[in-house]
Amino acid sequence: ADRLDGKHILVTAGPTHEPIDPVRYIANRSSGRQGFAIAEALSRLGARVTLVSGPVALATPAGVTRVDIETAQEMASAVATALPADAAVMVAAVGDWRAAPAAQKLKKGVTPPALQLTENPDILAVLAHSAQRPKLVIGFAAETEHVIAHATAKRTRKGADWILANDVSGDVMGGEANTIHLVTADGVERWERMPKVEVARRLAERIADALQQDTKA
């Protein structure tokens, strides 16, 4: 049988769009590629995968159940709806803030409109501290400096089991390859620079190892 047969794994991917009026939004450069590759790799190992995705231009991997959302709040409810899960891999680049969107298109005037921003829920932290917490909760940390220190702090603060840290100061966002540091309770493991699909395969195998160990225990 496949290593992840009978397991349900939740994956978030892509950016969020936070509307400011009916035609405009705040977004980020996430392409969704790393998250989609992870969903595909997990499905290939036999997992039932729910992929909660922001707006991206990618095809749904074979066998994966995809739920499309736009905002962080929609992503948070889609994640809650998808539970229970054995593992969750939170790859989405969730918008940190949202605006209270204007009902009509904002018009140019004497002074530019001021946006009042509200912090979005931290979907990973909420999930990791919930009663329905999956056994294995994995997050990403896209950093432009102090990658390992920030990722290590993030793992504890958010209550994740593993954090995959990557340096996005170069061409990672939207690009083909990734350099990962895997931060766990045991320490930091540096992976060589490799294609995002290879990061996905390697992570899927590690998840299978962890969930298997868990079943044996």
Closest contact distance (angstroms) between CB of 183 and ligand C5P is 12
**Does residue 60 contact residue 74 with C-beta atoms inside 8 Å?**
no
The residue within the footprint of ligand C5P, chosen from 38, 90, 180, 197 (CB under 6 A), is 90
Residues in 34-73 at the binding interface with ligand C5P, rule: CB under 6 A = 72
Segment contacting ligand C5P by CB under 6 A, of 23-31, 88-96, 173-181, 202-210: 88-96
Within 10 Å of residue 39's Cβ, how many Cβ atoms? Answer: 32
- Give the C-alpha separation, 7 to 212, whole Å: 10
Residue 84 DSSP class: -
Query: Is 96 annotated as a binding-site member?
Result: yes
Segment contacting ligand C5P by CB under 6 A, of 20-28, 59-67, 136-144, 202-210: 136-144
Residues contacting ligand C5P: total by CB under 6 A: 14
Query: Is 105 annotated as a binding-site member?
Result: yes
- Give the C-alpha separation, 51 to 89, whole Å: 10
Active site residues: 28
List the beta strands (DSSP E) in 22-147.
Answer: 24-26, 48-53, 65-68, 87-90, 97-99, 117-119, 136-143
123 SS3 class: helix
Our CB check for ligand C5P shows the closer of 12 and 53 to be 12
* Residue positions forming the annotated binding site for CTP: 96, 105, 121-124, 140, 154, 158
